[in-house]
Amino acid sequence: MIVVGAGIGGLAAAIRLAAAGFRVSLVEAADHPGGKLRQVPVGTAMIDAGPTVLTMKWVFDDLLSLCGTCLEDEIVLDRATTLARHVWRGGDSLDLFADPAESRRAIGDFAGRREAEGFSRFAADSARIYALLKDTFIDASRPNPVSLSARIGLMRPASLLALRPFSTLWSMLEGYFADARLRQLFGRYATYCGSSPFLAPATLMLVAHVEQAGVWIVDGGMHALARRLASIAADFGVTFHYGERVDAIMLDRAGRAVTGVRTDRDRVLSAANIVFNGDAGALATMLGQSRPRPVPLARRSLSAIVACTLVEPRDERLAHHTVHFSDDYRGEFDAIFGHGRAPADPTVYLCAPDRTADGARLDGVAVGAPERLYALMNMPADGDRCSYDESEMERCLTAMEGRLAANGSALRFDRSRMTVTAPDGFARLFPATGGALYGMASHGWAASFRRPAARTALKGLYLAGGSIHPGPGVPMAALSGKIAAASLMADRRSDGWSRPVAINGGTPMRSATAAPSPLQ
């Protein structure tokens, strides 16, 4: 079997297939695993340049249970007590906490008793939505509206209505919070799916519950998670081909079943089963169609300017996760999705990997020494249409620093020690995306049902990754790999394939040195 792409979805699929006894080869264009979980240099240090938040730890514990281990036995984790710090013009700030009672107290101190009560109702409703969708949608093969209703229960109309599929996240937040700053704070959860809170469905409230259920900081950064999963996969016999790009997925003469892949080394690797862990828009090119079919611009999710740099540690209010909000949130998203341009006044997300969740410097970070900083502003996914030259990126960086200054921060980016990725850079890194980081935007009630499913019309071809059901995000990508692997194994059984012979008659044993794995 072949897995194309060593992002989280591909790694999860490879581990599941290898743990079930299959021989798996994983082909990756980069010279390291991780996909979007990548690192870049800032001066002599390295810093994560992709996802920075780990939630839904149960997804990885479930995956690693197949290997006789769990996530905390494989990497060092710190559960955050402070989820994030949120800052507005003039320096008004609000921390959210893992303890809902602490968050309620903080919101009451920040905005008053009625807003604290609104938070309690919001937290309860977000937990209810998560409970309804966890097993019926998130951790399941892609449903359609009818099958989702059946999974939840057609005789439970109150539960179906609780999902509020036809309401936007922003409109629902108005029922909980009179303070526009709190609507900004909780509306930002739509950006976790690369979407606008003014267009995304209210079901994205569930992200609030996901965070309160646990946010973990990974020692060594999120890229360390990818490297550890790749190491575990290798222990179970997965063969990795790094630095080799798949240029084509090969089909039989009838064009109905996969037969293998051809790489940029003009090498053909034969396989009857392939898991493609890449953007769905790249499939047309992979299958030899004359023109690629990327997601139309109007349906693409957010892209970003990501600046990884060093800063002088003058901002003592910097937490591990800090969000500096713009003055005009609606205008920000209207610029991106309505006009396809960079917002003049962006919201800026900061990750300070040299700080603990609540902002204390990590042990070993010298007092007064420059700190690593990851800074992100949302952008349109126009990287296949626009070239971001130095002057355009400088305008964006200046806008980010302007927002930080307006919110009372003294942080300034060190441009002499900085790595910046713009939408055109993401478009080159992730083909056929245009720089969109989350596949399709989750706008409208039907958006979640439009994401491709794991199974395809071609026999033996399965899909995984953030553009595939159940959607973007590190744990969701891992779940896409789970669904792809499960679908593949179920189809092999239904086709009459015998179950692979496991080592020692049971689950394949993990070894320090993986045995050679011929393609299958």
Residue 91 pLDDT: 95
Digit-coded pLDDT (tens) for 264-285: 999 999 999 999 999 998 998 8
**Mean pLDDT computed over 429-436:** 94
Digit-coded pLDDT (tens) for 453-474: 999 999 999 999 999 999 999 9
Residue 495 pLDDT: 80
Digit-coded pLDDT (tens) for 473-504: 999 999 999 999 999 999 998 886 544 433 33
Helix (H) or strand (E) holding 259: strand 258-263
Residue type, 373: L
**Mean pLDDT computed over 377-386:** 96
Give the other-Cβ count within 10 Å of 75's Cβ. Answer: 17
Split at pLDDT 50, 70, 90, the class of 511 is low
Mean pLDDT score of the chain, rounded to an integer? 90
pLDDT at residue 151 is higher than 90: no
pLDDT at residue 291 is higher than 90: no
Reported in sequence order, the residue ranges of 98-215 that DSSP labels E, i.e. its strands, are none
Digit-coded pLDDT (tens) for 215-237: 999 999 999 999 999 999 999 99
- Please say whether the beta carbons of 328 and 463 come within 8 A: no
Digit-coded pLDDT (tens) for 326-338: 999 999 999 999 9
DSSP codes of every residue in 268-287: EEE-S-EEEES-GGGHHHHT
Q: Which two tokens stand for residue 77?
A: 């984790």
pLDDT at residue 314 is higher than 80: no
Taking alpha carbons only, the member of 297, 255, 292 closest to residue 434 is 297
**Residue 57, phi then psi, degrees to nearest 5:** -55, -25
Residue 367 pLDDT: 74
Split at pLDDT 50, 70, 90, the class of 507 is very low
Could you tell me which residue, 383 or 149, shows the higher pLDDT? 383
Digit-coded pLDDT (tens) for 101-119: 999 999 999 999 999 999 9
Residues paired with 77 in a beta bridge = 218
pLDDT at residue 8 is higher than 60: yes
In CATH terms, the superfamily for domain 2-37+54-77+221-296+441-505 is FAD/NAD(P)-binding domain (3.50.50.60)
pLDDT at residue 136 is higher than 80: yes
Cα 45 to Cα 86: distance, rounded to the nearest angstrom: 27
Helices (H), 213-313: 222-235, 283-286
- Which range has the worst mean pLDDT, 41-55, 162-176, 246-260, 506-520? 506-520
Digit-coded pLDDT (tens) for 44-88: 899 999 999 999 999 999 999 999 999 999 999 999 999 999 999
Question: In the chain, where are the structural domains located?
Answer: 2-37+54-77+221-296+441-505, 101-212, 297-429
Query: What is the residue whose two structure tokens read 């999902």?
Result: 163
Helix (H) or strand (E) holding 124: helix 113-133
Cα 220 to Cα 218: distance, rounded to the nearest angstrom: 6
Residue type, 201: P
- Please say whether the beta carbons of 86 and 96 come within 8 A: yes
